[in-house]
Amino acid sequence: MQFMLMINEDESAYAGEGGAALLEATLAGHMKLAEDLVAAGVPFSGERLKPAATATTLRFDHGAESLHDGPFAETHEELGGFYIIDVASLDEALAWARRIPVPKGGIEVRPVWPMGAEG
């Protein structure tokens, strides 16, 4: 089954002193992870997102629409990227999620709703 691994991380970790080096190390970690996923034969996709400051949010309230500058939720940790992987179980998904380099933050693991399945 497919799982989405949502990387919520503290962007500020990459700013300031040592930030550039940390970013470089993190990106290298992502490259390595992608190689490992390929080597393990796990079908996957994924993207890195631009910082939360670049986000625009549309909000709806029963027909009324409004546009906001900024991400959907104001938190210390922002959605910075995601993977979608196809593995057999939650435990396998968690094992891959553990290998995503995240200096500070968390990864939400969620099953993707299978298309065509009812209920």
Instruction: For the chain, give the longest Cα–Cα distance.
Output: 51
Closest CA to 48 of 72, 68, 31: 31
Binding to other proteins by residue 82, rule CB under 8 A?
no
Residue 91's Cβ-count burial label (10 Å; 0-12, 13-18, 19+) is: exposed
Binding characters for other proteins, 97-116, by CB under 8 A (x = yes): --------------x-----
Measured from the CB atom, the residue of 1 and 21 that comes closer to other proteins is 1
Minimum CB distance to other proteins, residue 102 (Å): 18
Can you tell me the distance from the alpha carbon of 77 to that of 7, in angstroms, rounded to the nearest whole number? Answer: 9
> Can you tell me which of 18, 28, 89, 104 binds other proteins, judged by CB under 8 A?
89
Residue ranges binding other proteins (CB under 8 A): 1, 3, 88-94, 111, 118
